[in-house]
Amino acid sequence: MLLKVPDVLTPDELQQARHLLATAPWTDGRASAGSQAALVKNNAQLPHACDAARALRPMVLAALDRQLAFFSACLPKRVLAPQFNRYGGGSNHYGNHVDSAIRYQPDNGQKVRTDLSCTLFLSEPQSYDGGELVIQDTPEPQRFKLPAGHLLLYPADRVHQVTPVTRGERLACFFWVESMVRSGAQRQLLFDMDTALLQLRAEHGENAATVALTGTYHNLLRMWADT
């Protein structure tokens, strides 16, 4: 599933993030790429242990907790520690690549299977040229350049790229989610059902049918979830 989640960060949080990132100790993004990805990667990333990354990670994780659609779509089991990147100047693109299937939590080495990829845009789209996230899809690739504070959620098994930033700079937060439900098709069914149930409740209130369908939702989750 490809899902846009709007307004994950508030304007105040965005301002704080950009303030911290303006003076952060950026390093070469190739250090964290797999061998295929390193050949096409040319951006800057924040070291995990720097002050800015330490301050911003909890802000992003708390913001995600406020997003019911994010939870419903991901059914997260583990969220890999959010990271931060910058595209601009001489380090301005990331060619077509796939993300590694297994990554490790920096603090404790715990393995995380990357089922879903997330990009949280931190720069306003009009402040830079290029820098589109392009995700291979059928029949055509899909291109994304979302407003600051909005998040894109997409399947981690897709070939994708960030096109060259030719003016300004593109700041983003990115991370991966391991879902309790491994199958993307099953996750999509659960998300569709949950979304429709929310709509039914909003229009008609709780009734015997919504209670029964909620039970079916949880029974499917019980059948498919690995906690």
Where on the chain is the footprint of Ni ion (CB under 5 A)? 99
Select 99 or 137, whichever has its Cβ closest to Ni ion: 99
Can you tell me the distance from the alpha carbon of 165 to that of 148, in angstroms, rounded to the nearest whole number? 16
CB of 189 to Ni ion, least distance (A): 26
Select 28 or 99, whichever has its Cβ closest to Ni ion: 99
Q: Residue 211 carries which side chain, given as an amino acid letter?
A: V
First to last CA, the chain: 21
Select 7 or 99, whichever has its Cβ closest to Ni ion: 99
The answer for residues whose C-beta is within 8 angstroms of residue 213's C-beta and 6 or more apart is 193, 197, 200
Contact of 186 with 48, CB cutoff 8 Å: no
CB of 69 to Ni ion, least distance (A): 22
- Token reading at 167: 């003016």
CB of 186 to Ni ion, least distance (A): 24
Q: Residue 17 carries which side chain, given as an amino acid letter?
A: A
Measured from each CB, the residue nearest to Ni ion is: 99
- Token reading at 52: 């800015």
CB of 41 to Ni ion, least distance (A): 8
